Chains A and B, each alone.
Chain A
Amino acid sequence: QLQLQESGPGLVNPSGTLSLTCTVSGGSIGSSHYWGWIRQPPGKGLEWIGSIYYSGDTYYNPSLKSRVTISVDTSKNRFSLNLSSVTAADTAVYYCARRAVSAAMGWFDPWGQGALVTVSS
């Protein structure tokens, strides 16, 4: 059974860079899927951040594109998120999730359990 697990610092300084890693187990990150990041501010809704293919092909939400970098490490079966110049508005639970390459099957499933990242000094 495929499982995803987020990891990284839970506290980031304002203007710093938020860095998270999602480790995939029970399957290969090199399969025909995209791997994505979605975030949820406390008490609010869900926002797609971006996705990556195992080849390194990426696409991002335009609202965050200037600050986001998603990378993949196939040797370690994991992918990572970097979000720069963070503010308190970036405080959220960050989820990683899988989606199919085919647009017609492009829902997110499964999801990781989520990692709360707080931006504060």
Chain B
Amino acid sequence: KQEVTQIPAALSVPEGENLVLNCSFTDSAIYNLQWFRQDPGKGLTSLLLIQSSQREQTSGRLNASLDKSSGRSTLYIAASQPGDSATYLCAPQDFQKLVFGTGTRLLVSP
């Protein structure tokens, strides 16, 4: 059974810092991995999807990498802003289903 761990559970940084969120998963037989953002009391917003054949994917200030063989993915956020404050979730896809970690709660202070 796939298990997903996200470290750290919470992170507080001043505005402008570059930061890295980590995700590890136990079963490397995945189709892809998605990173999501969740604001308090809201649904999930898809940030990036990395296919199993890819090593990384970029969107604006976000860069996600995937090392399938070691069961790891990282989300890199450049030049963080207060608007980036949210919970970030990673979810590898096992065939038809996503399996979620518990997330990293990020607070970026002005």
Do A and B interact? no
